[in-house]
A and B are shown apart, each in its own frame.
Chain A
């Protein structure tokens, strides 16, 4: 597996004084789903009922 590195280029568009959570957009079964929280503290993957 190639090495994974993060450089300043990865954060150039950011407002630097931030503690924002990692929120991304993914495609689930052909739906673009926004507001997806990446949470390494969670032991399960959760789909909220309101979204389901």
Chain B
């Protein structure tokens, strides 16, 4: 691809930026007969239900005549025959409806098929359904940076009025040392205060999942994450494993890798808890009456289990 950032303009004058262009040989097929033309495609990052848009340059190169009442196009082949390409009406209708309702999520399947025999084998572990999905939910509120002590900073929503800001700022600044700025700062919760017990069926047996292999990028990300957790004492090394739950690496919106563990088999061995938070209704009622709330995440809790190193 050749980078190129000259914008193009839509029919209402809206500007669409381009990423570059590329020259690709494009084959138009009518049964056994084909016509190949080189097409210079402009690469555009825009939400659409189509993969490609053929405009006048390619249609003129092809010598194509398009009839929308017939949903067909005809063009001369190199040997002088007239070739016909019919429209896939079902797909056309689907795309047309999708373009009329752009707020509906567009099906992300790209409808590209590898020709038989030219496929590169992809292992299932390297496929990440989230990669390439650009639309993600993000907080809509704007935030401003608030400087705390020792070079730390925190973001505050601009929706706060000046009174609220005046109350919150000294509390945050005065308690800078209470925040965990890195994993090392997390002191954990004393097991006497709270500890989690894994209830496991008596008849459950050890399950060792087949060890999955990762690509180089994921392997390095997993190693970095494991080293980090090891260095702060969240995890410890087990030398003889009679069970194994594979890790799963998922790309986050910011491009970093999130390491998760595939506990599918462990979950099967645990009775389902119908009331994981028995007082959720009380919590919500109380919360509705408060004027401001603070959300805390990531409190490490020691997990007790009848098995050695189950998590």
Contact = CB atoms under 8 A, between A and B. Distances in A.
B71 A14 contact: yes
Contact of A47 (B41, B63, B76): B41
A46 B7 CA distance: 12
A44 B92 contact: no
Interface in A1-34: 1-2, 4, 6, 10-11, 13-15, 18-34
Contacts of B66: 22, 38, 40
Contacts of B41: 45-47
A28 B75 CA distance: 18
Interface string B56-89: 1111000111111111111110001110111111
B85 A24 contact: yes
B82 A45 contact: no
A6 B74 contact: yes
Contact of A38 (B54, B57, B134): B54
Given A34-B112, A44-B57, A46-B41, A6 B50 contact: no
Nearest to B97: A20
Contacts of B68: 21-22
B93 A42 contact: no
B48 interface: yes
Contact of B70 (A6, A32, A45, A48): A6
B70 A51 contact: no
B83 to A, nearest CB: 10
Contacts of B95: 21, 23, 35, 37
A52 B93 CA distance: 23
A4 B84 CA distance: 10
Interface of A: 1-2, 4, 6, 10-11, 13-15, 18-52
23 contacts: A4-B74, A11-B71, A23-B92, A25-B88, A27-B26, A28-B52, A30-B115, A31-B112, A34-B51, A34-B91, A35-B50, A35-B91, A35-B111, A37-B95, A41-B55, A43-B55, A45-B41, A45-B57, A46-B41, A47-B52, A48-B48, A48-B53, A49-B44
| Across the A-B interface, the 5 shortest Cβ-Cβ residue pairs | A42-B55, A34-B111, A47-B41, A49-B45, A23-B92
Interface of B: 1, 8, 11, 19, 22, 24-29, 34, 39-46, 48-59, 63-76, 80-82, 84-89, 91-93, 95-96, 110-115, 118, 132, 134
